[in-house]
Each structure stands twice: as structure tokens, then as C-alpha cells.
Structure 1
Amino acid sequence: MLKRLSRGEPLVLAALCLFALGLLVMPLGLLFRVGLAEGAGALLDALGGRSVRAALWHSLESAAVSGTGALVIGTVMALVIGLSDLRAKGGFVFVLLLPMMIPPHVTAIAWVQALGPASPVLQALHLAPEMGATHPLYSPGGVWLLLTLQHAPLVFLVVLAALRALPREMSEAARISGARPARLLRRVLLPLLAPSLLAAFALAFVSALGNFGIPALLGIPARYVTLPVLIWRRLSSFGPSVLRDVAVISLMLAAVAVVAIWLQSMLQRRARSQVIGPAQAPLRIALGRWRAPVTAAMALYALATLVLPLASLLATALVPTYGVRLNLDTLTWANFAEVLFRQSVTLRAFLNSTLAAGLAALVLAALSCLLAFFLNARARPPRRIAGGIATLAEISYAIPGLVISIAFILAFLRPLPLTQLSLYNTLWIIVLAYLTAFFSVALKPVAAAYGQLDPSLDDAARVSGAGFGRRMGRIYLPLVAPAAASGAILVFLTAYNEVTVSALLWSTGHETIGTTIFNYEDGGYSVLAAAMASVTVAATLGLMLMLDLAGRRLPPGVVPWRM
């Protein structure tokens, strides 16, 4: 026993269990206890409320409609990129994934300014609606549309990865037998992709279910309130029973997300098709005379979904007051000067977001490397324990960020026992919430990388007398480092601009980029919100471009979007 303990494996596994209990189980367990403190009748009473029922229906409706739209758009894009001889694939992949890295509330602000009567771009083209006209996006359809565009890149990533993992033998056999591309797609590829399509839809559905920025900025004016927005409004109203009421609604939202993931897993098992053979490069079907129209359609989609709203966002940031037409006389940089040099909250928010997202990315990359080792262990007990922790991480990712915020408020509202250290109203509570919310994002690529390693590597190292630390440092970490870096990049880019998790956890002095932009817009300072959002988009784009350039010299798989 002493010899095994000296190798470090049981100690590391015990530390991972403590992490899971402290961040994945305890906060959500407290939420469950508070939500059901008065029994199941509290849930029934909540459902009896007219506003809760309406918000629940709106959440399900918007998630289902936008999830279906994202599935269609993302799958079509993935099939075109993954199966055809389209030119400039790397550039298209980069552009198609960029909306996923832009915060949802920034997306909402950009589209509101792009299509409204005060749109600088539409005014310049003399296409702007009349002043006083109802904004077309302040409607349920506007919420559905922007949720679809926001989550289509998620579907695109999942389906494109599935295409790369498919062996080519069946597709090549079908083509040799004379199957045209349409028949090949209908009879071979789509049945094989069915589990991945279900997973992609579930991911888009759950992401839309927990989205706060888009329903808050578009749904509130249209009186189309979803559960995350209702939670935010209830918590902002205070009152003696506010935490219990919010906990009940949060528990309801969490239950919907978990049921959606459970249904997806069950349907995936039924739709799974066993294939034989290693993964190979996907097909390259010649588009022929359709190449130019397909390329033009892809470029038009990128122009309509990315360039138009971002151009309007920038144009709004360059006018003195919202609604003023942009020209040489009204052009001003005062809004950028205000948010970058005069407003201390802006620089503080950039610093806080960089620190919180960077620290969460590094910690999760390290934890993922350790947990994935035990997920592929030969011994059954460590593998089962690690599998349980991975399942908890999946559930935490499926639960909307606003629910995690409520759980962390309940868990850390009081000082920690023994140490009397208070984490509430500090940046650390946001970092811990990020660890809970995004653990699954960092774990997936690392677990896949471990699954491809030959178990004989570990056997040879053990026979040679290498302990756990030496095996991790000399064998496993160098081999899975590209996957760990890929997961860390995704975590950083996701957490850097998010607003859902930190919407209820920020405090004065500990603002994040997402909460600062949202507060500007919610307070009526649209030009300042546009200026800071423009800076945020520029920073995100610059970071992605630097990673893309560095990816040419890095091992394959480090930069997630590189072909």
C-alpha cells in the first residue's frame, strides 16, 4: 500500500474527487436543497405562476426552433467544407467560427444597430426604416434568428469533426457503384452521421436554453421573457424569499437541460452505426461548375451574418449620439477615448476577464490531463471514479450558466468554514464558476487524445520502474499537450467574453467584459456599449489571428479551427 501511495496515482485521484465534490457537487447540491426545501410543491407552485409558465414555454420554444435552424445551417456548412473541393477552406472555417467567439449580447447589440431605424449603414444606403418604427428584431422571431446564428458554428464544429472521423471505404464503395452525391449523402453519410447530428442539436438546444444576452436585449422589449431572463429579473428585485424563488426556477431550468442531454444520449445509442476502419481524410467531391455559385453563397452568408452587424456596430461607435447619421462631420473617436482612457471600469474589466479566463484555462488543461489518464486506466475502480467525474462535468456544462451562478451564490455567500475566507464579491468566485461551467470543454479533446494512445506505452514505463509523475511528465503530457492546448484555447475564448456565468457574480471592482458591455447597453449608453463591444471584437479577432499564425508552427490539433 505504501508503495502504491508513493507512486501518486491514488493521491491524484483523491484530489480530483475533492475538486468534483467542492465545485461540481456541493454548489448544485445546495441549489437542489434550497429549491426543494418545501418539497415538490414548491416546483408545482412555481409552475402555477403565469410568468414562470410563459418563460418556460418561451425557453423551450426558442431553444427548439433555433436548435433546428442551427442544425440545418451548421450541417450544410460542414458538408460543403468537409466533402467538397471548395477553395480557401481554412479562411471559411475561420470566418464561420468567429461568431461563436463573439459574446451573444454583443451579437444582439450589433444586429439591433444594423437593422434599426438608426442604423448608420442602412442610413448611408437610404434603406433605414422610418424613425419610430418597431424594430424587427424586438420579437420572438428576432430572438430565434440570432440564437440560430450564434449556435450554428457549434453544430458546424461537431459535424465537421464527425466527417473527419468517418472511414472512407463505404463512401468510396457507393461512388464506385454509381451513387451520385445526393444519393451518397442520403443513403450513406447521413445515417452514419446521425449520432453526431443528435449531439449537435442537443448542444445547440442546451446552449440556447441557457443563453442570457440575446433574450435579455431582444426579448424584454418584445415581452418575450425566457427562464434565464426571469431569474435575472427576480434576483434583481430582492425580497425576503428571492433566493428560494430563484433557486426553484433555476432547478427547473437545470432539470430541462439534464433531460435534454439524457434524451440525446438515449437517441444516440439507438441511432449509432458501427463502422470498421481507421479515420481517414474525408472525400473531396468535385463541385465543377457549381464551385463558383457555392463559393459566392458561402461568402454572402459570411457577409450577411458577420460583416453587416460588425460594420454597424463600429459605425455606431463612431457617432456622438445613437441615431446620428455617420459622415465626415459626425465622425468622432470620443466614445473609444471614453471607454479606453477615461472609464476605469473598462480597463479593469479587460484585466479581470483576461485573468479569470486565463487562469481557468490553465487549471482546466492540467486537470483534464490528469482526469483523462484515469478515464483510460485498465483498472476498473479508477476508471469508474473518473467516469463519474466526467459525467458530472458534462452535467455542469449542460446546466445554464445563470443556474451555476445561483448555485455559487448559495455555496459561497458565507465565509468558508475554518478559514473564514469570503469568496463572495471577489474575482475568485467567478474563476471557480468558470472551472465548473467549462471543465467539459477542456476535457473532451484531451480524453480523445488519450484514447488514441497505445496502452503498451504505460506498461513499458512501469516495467522500467517509472513512477506516476515520471510517466506523466515524460510520456503522456508531451503526447496530449496539443489536445490540452486546444481545449485551453476554447475555454479561454469562451470565458473571455461570456456574460451568462458572471451576470450575477460580478461586483464593483470585479467587473468582466461581458457584464460591462451589458450594463452600458442596459443603461442606455448605446454608443459606449458599441465602442467597448468593437474593442472586444477586435481583441478577440486579433487573438484568433495570432493563434492561427502560430498554428502553422505548432503541432496539428493545437489551434481548433485550422484545417
Structure 2
Amino acid sequence: MVITDARPPTVPPPDAGPPRRRGRWRYRLSVARHEPTLLIGLVLILLLLYLVIAPLVAVLSDAVRVQFGDQPKTGQQPGELTGYYLWRVFRSQVSSIVFWQPLVNTLVVAVGVTVLALLLGGICAFLLTRTNIAGRKWLSTALVVPYMLPSWTFALAWLALFKNDRSGGQVGILEARGVQTPDWLAYGAVPIIVCLGLHYFPFVLLLFGNALRRLDAQLEDSARILGAGRGTVLGRITLPLMLPSLSSSTLLVFGRILGTFGTPYVLGLPVDYTLLSTSLFSAVRNHEPGITAVIATVIVVIGVAVVVADARLLREQRRFVTVGGKGAMDRIIELGRWRWPAGGVALGVFALSVVVPVVTLALTTVTTTPGVFSAENFTLKYWLAEDLPGAPGFPHGILRGTELLDAAWNSLRIVGLASLVCGVVGLLVGYVVVRSDGSRIASVLRQVSFLPYLVPGIAFAAAFLSLFAVRRGPVPALYGSVTLLVIVLAVTHLPYASRSGISAMTQLGREPEEAAQVTGAGWLTRVRAVVVPIQRGSLVTGIVLPFISGIKELSIVIMLTTTGTQLLTTLSINLIDFAYDQMANAVVLVIALVAFLATYLTQRLTRTSLASGLGG
């Protein structure tokens, strides 16, 4: 045998290295062109890092760097490191007004709202899921309606009923009829807690009700067979098993209060009752970016701590898993003669949270003097008048002129574009995470897309204001632009769309795509012809649900809009600032109608219901 080449076959010829490397890169590019999942995931990660992490880094930087115009206060040049803003917020003579008192007020309101929401939501959830309460199916849907309304709807209705002459302008219905309302009842902590509690109790109702629905009733039956009374069963069996859901509801409601702006602004401003959210807004309005950054950072830290605590509780939930037959889980308690009174209780909650606020606001828009229901007092001037004497800032009814139409158009196009972007990106996130499951890109993308949920809305708006208020490198200043509003609304609602996309893609196997790939279909063709048609329902949900939230959003947009980008929500708040209460109430009714119609159409299109887990 003649050996012509003694070199091992695994060793390439000396001149084969560069061409072989070039061949590997050509192969990888070819693979990426036909299967670009990981490449899309990498692009999404880079984009979200800039739109989620960079704003937070910018606001942190503003908290410790001298801002333009503050040289005389700090004795330093703009951009230098400083502790002035930290001292100003935490240790100065005005720190009590700027931070500490708003922090105490925020904690008081958060605790009060959480207790009220848990009380109302827990009672209603138990009645709807575990009893044969009268009107159960209808109430399961009706009691979710308060969450569809803008949160400050309740605040405006409260003012229409209880407003006194302290804040100027027209008094409320009670005061107009000779009933004196004290300041503590008209403004401040009590009305804020009641109004926010009525808004957020459906959130508890859904979480707590779905958990009750899954609870195995066999455990309660076993305890009763052994002689335990109803109180013992409730305290020793039901409540301990419901502890994870109860804790999660408590923390999430508590966390949402941090970013709530409309209700504290409307009901707290007349008596200088400030929360962290309104103190943050005051700092923005007073052009104090350093103080704004410090307060926003505190809100972010508290919000992150709340969500992290909730995540830990969810991991602990495994300790409370029960095993039982599915048929035993829907055991209904027969109320007998108490069936109708229990239905009356739930109906009363619906009346207080929906009927009373909406009817009150509607009456204020069609009466000249509140509380007087004579024929000559009814009017449509606040809706239709061409000229309103004494209202120079808004001299006509809301259906006249262009203000309402412009705000409605801005809301529809900005929120609509943001929702479309949110839905498409959410589906792409779900596609990448599921199709590249187990990869580092999938893990990072899943976490980054959820990060906006950790940040309260008004703090996130402050972070975006810090990043995009001035030009940074190739990115121009975007403050006051439609682009910035679309971006911030899309990013803040991305966690919901991405989780919807991940859930939907998890249920879609690879077989339909592989079949299309065998026929020669490229990636774009497969997505357009296979994935999108199959996931149409998920895509619609990922678009419409952010639209519903965005159309009534105030906390996120209040600091980012200008005269040219006025939305329905900011138009309502501006009318409140001018003491045009009737027109402000009319605009809120328009917002509520749009949100309700969008919710109804969503449920019809997707054949789902927000109350699907409550037995309705």
C-alpha cells in the first residue's frame, strides 16, 4: 500500500482556513435568512433594552447629576455628580412637603384602598363563585364594569355630590340643597380611598374569584362531616388555601396605587393632600428634573419590591396545591331565603360603583344648578351651546368647536397605533420565546418584555421624559410628539400583549410551519399565511386590550402631552383645572363609552369574557 499523504484527515490544508470560515458565515447567514427567529429575538432585546432600561438609567442619572439652571443652587456645573437633589428630597426643610408627607399619604391611601377592595371584591367573589345568589350570571359581568371606567370617573362623581365652596366654582349637589359637607368628606384621604376602592375591587374580584373557583370543595365537605362549623371551615380550610391569591391581590392593588394620578389629583389638590404621584407631577410642572428623578426612582423601587414580593408568593403557592376530583370543585352553597338579599348586596355594590357615578356625572352635564331637577333647570348647553358666557377658556359646548374632535382623533390614532405595535410585537415576542425555548435569547426576551410591569405608570412617564426631552446622539428630542406617546403606550402595555403571545404560541405546534416550509415557503410567508391566521384571536386580544387600557390612560400620558397632542383624558383634566366641571364630566362620559364599547367588541370578537372564571 502506498501512502500519499501522511497528515491526519481531520487537519485541513494550510490554505483552507479563510475560505472555510467564509463558508461558515455564508451558511449562518443563509440559515438566518430562512429561519431568523434568533436574529429577530436579538433585535427585539436590543430595542427593548433601549426603550425600557435606558429610560430608567436616564432618570437615575438625572437624580445624581446637576441639571441645567441649577448651577446657583448646587455651586456646580451641569452634568457633574451631586448629592443636592437627594438632600433636597430627603433632608432639607422642604423634604416633608416634597417627599415624606406624600409618602405617608400614599401608604395610608394604599392600605385603605387595599382593605376596601379586598372587602368588596372578596365578598362579591364568594357570592358569585360559591353560592346560588340571585342574578349570578348577570352580576358576574356587571361587577367587572367599574374597572372599565377611567379611575377618576368616581372622583368627579364624588365632587359632583360632595363638593363644597372651598375650591371655588360650582358646589356639589348636597351643598346646593343645603347640606353642608366638611372638607374631610369632600376632599382628601377618605374620598380618595373610597373612589379608588370602588375602581379596583373588580381586580380583586377576578383574582380571588378565579382562585375560589378552582378550590376543591371536598376539603370543606370533609371538615363539615367531622363536625366543623362554617366559621371553623372558613378560618381553618378556605382562607389558608386562599392565602396565595389573597396575598397576590393585596400586593398588586397596593402596587397599582403608586402610579395612580387622576383621583389623587382631583380630590387631593383642593386641600393640598399630595401623594407621591401628585408630588412627582408637581416637580415636573415646576421644571425640577433633579427632584423629579429622585421621586420617580423611589416609586420605581417600591413598585419593583411589590412585584418581586408577589413573585415570591406565587412560588410559595405550590405549597397550597390541592388534589381532588374536578366534579367536586363546582359545589354551590344553597342560600335558600337569603338568595335574593345576597343578590341585593351585590347589586348594591354595582349601583355604588357604576350607576351612581355615571348617573351623577350625566345629570351634572344637563343641569345648570346641581341638585335642582325642575324643567327650567335642565339644559343641553354644556353639550351643544355655541356660546357659553363666563367660560373664556372653553366658550362653547363640548360637541361644538374642534377641541373634543381633535382630542378624540388624537386618542384614537395614538392609542390605536400603540395598540397595533403592541399586539404585533407581543406576538413576535411569543413566537421567539416559544420557538427558541431554552436559549439564552428566549430567557432574556421573556424577562425584558415583562419589565415595564414593574414600573408604576407615572414613574415610567417621568423616565421617558428624562430620556427623550433632549437630543441624545442620533435620537432627536421627542417630547410632545406623537411618536413618543405611541412608544410609551406600546412599551407600558407590552407585558400583557407579550404574555398573551407566549400563551398562544405555546399551544401552536411546529407542524403547520414545517409543512409550509417543506413546500418552500419562506419565514415571512409562513408567518403571514400560517401563524397570523391561526393566532388571529390572540393578535386581536393583544391589540384591543391595550387599546381599552390606553384610551382611558392618564398617569402615563399626563406629563408627555402638549397642546398639539391633547388626548381625551388630558382634555378632561385640563377642563377640571379651569373649573369647567360640567364639560370635564361630559368628556369622561365619552371616554367611558368608548372604553365600554371597545371592551364589548373585544369580547364579541374573541368570544371571551372577563368574568369567564366567575361562573357567569
* Structural mapping, 1:151-300, within 5 Å: 151-165=200-214, 184-238=233-287, 242-272=288-318, 273-276=320-323, 282-300=330-348
Per the alignment, residue 129 of structure 1 pairs with 179
Aligned residue in 2 for 1:500: 555
Q: TM-score under structure 1 normalisation?
A: 0.87
1:354 is aligned, of 412, 427, 436, to 412
Question: 1:458 aligns to what?
Answer: 510
Mapped contact 1:120–1:312 kept (Cα < 8 A): no
CA-CA distance at 1:104 after TM superposition: 2.0
Cα drift, residue 474 of structure 1: 6.0
Name the CA distance, whole Å, in 1 between partners of 2:59 and 2:303: 15
Residue 50 of structure 1, CA deviation: 1.4
CA distance in 1, matches of 2:61, 2:374: 58
Q: Judging changes above 3 Å, is the alpha-carbon distance between structure 1 residues 285 and 390 closer, same or farther for their aligned structure 2 residues?
A: farther
Output aligned runs, 1:22-37, within 5 Å.
Answer: 22-37=50-65
**Closer, same or farther: CA 13–164 of 1 in aligned 2, 3 Å:** farther
Shift of 1:335: 0.4
2:390 matches 1:342: no
8 Å Cα contact 2:121/2:202 also seen in 1: yes
SS at match of 2:375: coil
| Alpha-carbon separation, structure 2, partners of 1:555 and 1:175 | 41
CA contact (8 A) 1:362 1:488 kept: yes
* Distance 1:450-1:163 versus aligned 2 partners, 3 A rule: farther
Q: Give me the TM-score of the superposition, normalised by structure 2.
A: 0.80
State the partner residue of 1:53.
100
Measured after TM superposition, the shift of residue 266 of structure 1 is 2.5
Partner of 2:483: 428
Aligned residue identity for 1:28: L
Structure 1 residue 465, shift from structure 2 partner: 4.1
Residue 67 of structure 1: CA displacement? 1.6
Structure 1 or 2, whichever has the larger Rg, is 2
The Cα of 1:110 is off from its aligned counterpart by: 1.1
Of 303, 308, 330 in structure 1, the residue corresponding to residue 356 of structure 2 is 308
Letter in 2 for 1:213: G
Distance 2:100 2:607 in 1: 48
Find the residue that maps to 1:505 and give its secondary structure: coil
> How big is the shift at 1:332?
0.6
Q: CA deviation at 1:107?
A: 2.0
Tell me how far 1:374 sits from its aligned partner. 3.7
Which residues of structure 2 form unaligned runs of 5+? 1-27, 66-80, 165-169, 385-395
CA distance, structure 2, for counterparts of residue 144 and residue 187 of structure 1 = 31
User: For the Cα contact (< 8 Å) 2:408–2:567, is it kept in 1?
Assistant: yes
Helix, strand or coil for the counterpart of 1:509? helix
Please tell me whether the aligned partners of residues 458 and 471 of structure 1 are also in contact (alpha carbons under 8 angstroms).
no
Letter of the 2:448 counterpart: I
Instruction: Check conservation: 1:143, 1:215, Cα contact below 8 A.
Output: yes
**2:466 equivalent among 410, 430, 445:** 410
Contact 2:247/2:310, CA 8 A, preserved across alignment: yes
Alignment of 1:363-374 (within 5 A): 363-374=421-432
Structure 1 stretch 228-237 or stretch 467-476: which is displaced more?
Answer: 467-476
Report the alpha carbon displacement of residue 309 of structure 1 after superposing the two structures with TM: 2.1
Once residues 224 and 361 of structure 2 are traced to their aligned partners in structure 1, the CA distance between those partners, rounded to angstroms, is: 47
| Cα distance in 1, alignment partners of residues 228 and 247 from structure 2 | 26
Q: CA deviation at 1:391?
A: 3.7
The aligned amino acid for 1:236 is R
**Equivalent position amino acid for 1:24 in 2:** V
| Conserved 8 A contact 1:210-1:401 | yes
Provide the rounded CA distance (Å) in 2 between the counterparts of 1:537 and 1:42.
Answer: 40
- Following superposition, the deviation at residue 53 of structure 1 comes to 0.9
Alignment partner of 1:10 out of 38, 62, 79: 38
By how many angstroms is 1:274 displaced? 3.2
Instruction: Choose the corresponding residue for 1:513, options 546, 556, 568.
Output: 568
Q: CA deviation at 1:88?
A: 3.4
Q: Following TM superposition, by how much is the alpha carbon of 1:194 offset from its aligned partner in structure 2, in angstroms?
A: 2.3
- The residue type equivalent to 1:203 in the other structure is L
Query: Which letter maps to 2:100?
Result: R
Q: Compared with structure 1, are the counterparts of its residues 355 and 313 closer, same or farther at alpha carbon in structure 2 (3 Å cutoff)? A: same
RMSD over aligned CA atoms reads 3.1
SS in 1 for 2:464: helix
How far apart, in 2, do the equivalents of 1:474 and 1:279 lie? Answer: 38
Gaps of 5+ in 1: none
Sequence identity (%): 22
